[in-house]
Structure 1
């Protein structure tokens, strides 16, 4: 058991790669212990293409088990030994999007109550992480399971502090609005300059409302992940039911075929603890800054 490292709490397999894959690979490259806790198996996820279509909840309902394998491969690409599921694999089920019948399932993660908090407290007391990362209060883009992950992580950190381990630094993972728009604009220019073939067939650029839904402000900390993008791209490829990576490796898309940039930075907001050294650009550049 390695203590004192980085703990990330994510809702579904693939979330760890989409928002924090570069950060995971970066700190593993530095030799720090990294643990990813995943709260569900992602059973209600949509899939890409016909190859996996019969795995979904309305058919064989085997997608969750399949995604364990995808998560295992993605974490291996990021140099994390194995997945860890909150309460064990299958304890809580993917709740689906807001308003869908899946949220009424008693096993849905949104119905996990105090038991989910208790399970995460046990993980925190076992690992004693110096840094914990999860989503902001709106869950990044509003998915109920992301919001629930935020709620239980916030509660578990408070409870663990009362039981012997006060997490020194707690962050929310964010997508910086300015950088997202900058890279999306560059992609739009390439679709003009490099046609045909700048994007895979069927993909499209995001519209402004979609960018607004995906981006946030209040960034305090920027982690440069440019040197580990190959690992992040490999993790994207591992999540083949959920993510497609463009041949260029510069863009990816989910099942909606909206092209998004693979960013060279990942962004965070410190919400507990003290910021370490702030650089000339006004940001921390290390989640562990200021810690011994």
Structure 2
């Protein structure tokens, strides 16, 4: 079970692995926690969607197209079955928003709505994610590292929820690990606990899925150009670090 905060995160960091698992018949489940309602939008034909009620449904359509390119058939938004606790009505967890801190990393926005992922009681979101993992028969959980990759509050909470579910169910937890995009070396020093997946065989699918997320990024040669203009190489190697469970006392 792959757990991501917003549409497009799944393709940028794990798209090749998702495509490889899907092709191998492993049927990965992707759970997306929000619809990215407060995301910035790239300049161009979709720019007018920024800050409007039309952005969320558009990003849902982008995600559906991306998953079709990757071959992923199992997907749920948190708060909607199968990612909703039994006997609770469906709900929507909204994007919490973010701001850029002085160090260039994301920090929490000061105006998150009461329905934002980081505003609602964490136990509700936790129970929904537990339900998703249990009903899917998950054998492992994949999500961000403890700082969410770049500090976005939704990413940080996604890590905490995912790791708690893995611990509760006794499942392996794999943290997405950033290092050089296209080499087998690891920058964390934890080579014994890191899996490096060469996803070259699925790059066409990954690039097509990236292009589907047109409100959030553009593809320029071998690079992703993010909405803020930041460039990032499209990773041909995707890395995951096995995070041990915290020993329980008593």
Instruction: Give the TM-score taking structure 1 as reference length.
Output: 0.72
Greater fraction strand:
2
**Pairwise CA distance, 1:272:** 3.8
**What is the correspondence of 1:1-292 to structure 2 with a 5 Å cutoff?**
7-57=1-51, 60-81=52-73, 83-88=75-80, 91-97=92-98, 98-103=107-112, 105-112=113-120, 113-159=122-168, 161=169, 166-167=170-171, 169-176=172-179, 179-180=180-181, 217=188, 218=190, 220-246=194-220, 248=221, 250-272=222-244
Contact 1:102/1:108 (<8 A) preserved: no
What SS does structure 1 have at the residue aligned with 2:143?
Answer: strand
**Pairwise CA distance, 1:82:** 5.2
Structure 1: segments with no counterpart, 5+ residues = 1-6, 183-214, 274-292
**Number of aligned residues:** 222
Contact 1:170/1:270 (<8 A) preserved: yes
Contact 1:40/1:90 (<8 A) preserved: no
What SS does structure 2 have at the residue aligned with 1:93?
Answer: coil
Q: Would you identify which runs of 4 or more consecutive aligned residues in structure 1 move more than 3 Å?
A: none
What SS does structure 2 have at the residue aligned with 1:145?
Answer: helix
Structure 2: segments with no counterpart, 5+ residues = 81-89, 99-106, 246-250
2:87 corresponding residue in structure 1:
none
Structure 1 distance, partners of 2:13, 2:64, is: 17
Which deviates further from its counterpart, 60-69 or 94-103? 94-103
Greater fraction helix:
1
Q: Deviations over 1:266-290 (max 9, x none)?
A: 01110148xxxxxxxxxxxxxxxxx
Structure 2 distance, partners of 1:124, 1:269, is: 20
Contact 1:25/1:79 (<8 A) preserved: yes
Structure 2 distance, partners of 1:94, 1:100, is: 10
Determine which structure has more spread, i.e. the larger CA radius of gyration: 1
Structure 2 distance, partners of 1:141, 1:122, is: 28
Instruction: Give the TM-score taking structure 2 as reference length.
Output: 0.83
The CA RMSD measured in Å over matched residues stands at 1.9
